[in-house]
């Protein structure tokens, strides 16, 4: 049986969701994948840390987090050094996203790859800013860096296109990559004003207290950069995206679809023109026949326009503890498959 030791950096919504998933699927991992997982390290800036080379008791850690709101009072030491020296095979990088610098996550990922450890991550910053460098580093060190959950969370997207659809040429991608904006626009179609729709999104936990990254289109821009660089062989940055968000839209501009015949959506797109890939994020009016027009609430979606398959659209959750944890689970199993397939 293959054994893999994991270390978590970050233990918030996604980290805890992944710990729960590992627990609930332990027997499936053993019986169907011949894989035994042990978590040896968890480090979180707020929650504290736990290190046990013999395997952390996840049930106990999750119970402590539920009861006390933290793992321990022990606070982070030098995380990079712990990543370099730690006794584990795979770093689960689920710390905070900084869209501008992607730090400290990039340094954590580099430390892991350089010390021969695989990385699975849901953090958008590092692949948006340094995908080629990190993938090169992984290759150089004979390990894997996978980040399926950075776009569409656990809904198959990056791996679907780069693995299941291997060999197709993608000439454009259009997506609803931000569930918060999709929710707000749908509320506005029913006549609710922007501010009120945003407040409701915040009350429901869909929007952050500071909603700038979502409503000004930065989050969608970051994700379309990841898609274009990974799947269309582009080499673009967030500043290359022609971006506008949903701030300032009025209900007059967003008529009910049954009156106008259109749905209003924030669309992120990548189009290849000659040798160049152009990226855009902005509000589009879609005819009701467009599959993206029927993506409701906080769901996400992406349509890939290809040479051999025509259009392929995936629709599913784009956030949430369990759905995002699923992306880590599938990345972990993909690494295990590569390590055990001869």
Ligand X SMILES: NC(=O)c1ccc[n+]([C@@H]2O[C@H](COP(=O)([O-])OP(=O)(O)OC[C@H]3O[C@@H](n4cnc5c(N)ncnc54)[C@H](OP(=O)(O)O)[C@@H]3O)[C@@H](O)[C@H]2O)c1
**Which residues of this protein are in contact with ligand X, per CB under 6 A?**
9-10, 12-15, 43-47, 76, 79, 94-97, 104, 122-124, 149, 153, 319-320, 324
Rounded to a whole number of angstroms, the minimum distance from the CB of residue 73 to ligand X is: 15
Token readout for 237 is 């940055």
Can 265 be counted among the known catalytic residues? no
d(CA 58, CA 107): 26
Total residues found in the chain within this entry: 342
For ligand X, the closer CB: 121 or 172: 121
CA distance 72 to 61: 9
Under 8 Å between Cβ of 131 and 122: no
Cβ at position 164, least distance to ligand X in Å:
21
Residue nearest ligand X, CB atom distance: 12
Q: What is the CA radius of gyration of the chain?
A: 20
Distances (CA, A) of 107 to 44, 78, 114, 246: 15, 12, 10, 33
Work out how close the CB of 136 gets to ligand X at its nearest, in angstroms, rounded to a whole number. 22
Closer Cβ to ligand X, 15 or 175, answer by number: 15
Catalytic residue among 117, 124, 223, 265: 223
Tokens of residue 81, six digits: 């050094």
How far is 210 from 91, CA to CA, in rounded Å? 29
Min CB(279)–ligand X separation in Å: 20
Question: What's the closest the beta carbon of residue 132 comes to ligand X, in angstroms?
Answer: 20
- C-alpha 297: how far from its chain's center? 18
Q: Among residues 7 and 254, whose Cβ is nearest to ligand X?
A: 7
Nearer to ligand X, 193 or 205 (CB): 205
* Residue 159 CB burial class (10 angstroms; 0-12, 13-18, ≥19): middle
Would you please indicate which residues are annotated as catalytic (active-site) residues? 223
């Amino acid at each position: 049986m293959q054994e893999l030791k994991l270390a978590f950096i970050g233990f918030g919504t996604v980290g805890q969701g992944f710990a729960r998933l590992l627990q609930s699927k332990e027997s499936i991992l053993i019986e169907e994948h011949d894989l035994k997982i042990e978590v040896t390290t968890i480090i979180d800036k707020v929650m504290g840390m736990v290190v046990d080379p013999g395997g952390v008791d996840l049930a106990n850690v999750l119970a402590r987090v539920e009861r006390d709101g933290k793992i321990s009072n022990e606070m982070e030491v030098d995380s990079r050094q712990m990543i370099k020296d730690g006794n584990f095979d795979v770093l689960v990088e689920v710390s905070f996203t900084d869209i501008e610098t992607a730090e400290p996550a990039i340094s954590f990922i580099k430390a892991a790859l350089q010390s021969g450890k695989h990385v699975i991550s849901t953090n958008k910053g590092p692949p948006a800013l340094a995908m080629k460098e990190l993938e090169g580093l992984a290759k150089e060190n004979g390990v894997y860096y996978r980040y399926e959950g950075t776009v569409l969370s656990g809904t198959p997207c990056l791996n679907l296109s780069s693995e299941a659809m291997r060999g197709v040429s993608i000439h454009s991608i259009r997506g609803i990559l931000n569930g918060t904006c999709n929710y707000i626009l749908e509320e506005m179609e029913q006549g609710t004003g922007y501010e009120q729709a945003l407040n409701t999104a915040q009350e429901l936990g869909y929007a952050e207290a500071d909603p700038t990254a979502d409503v000004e289109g930065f989050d969608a821009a970051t994700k379309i950069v990841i898609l274009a660089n990974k799947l269309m062989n582009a080499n673009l940055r967030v500043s290359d995206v022609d971006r506008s968000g949903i701030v300032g839209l009025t209900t007059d501009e967003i008529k009910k679809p049954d009156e106008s015949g259109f749905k209003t959506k924030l669309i992120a797109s990548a189009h290849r023109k000659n040798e160049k890939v152009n990226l855009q994020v902005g509000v589009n009016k879609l005819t009701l026949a467009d599959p993206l027009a029927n993506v409701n609430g906080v769901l996400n979606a992406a349509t890939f326009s290809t040479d051999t398959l025509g259009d392929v659209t995936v629709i599913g959750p784009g956030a949430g503890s369990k759905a995002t944890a699923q992306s880590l689970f599938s990345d972990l199993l993909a690494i295990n498959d590569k390590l055990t397939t001869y």
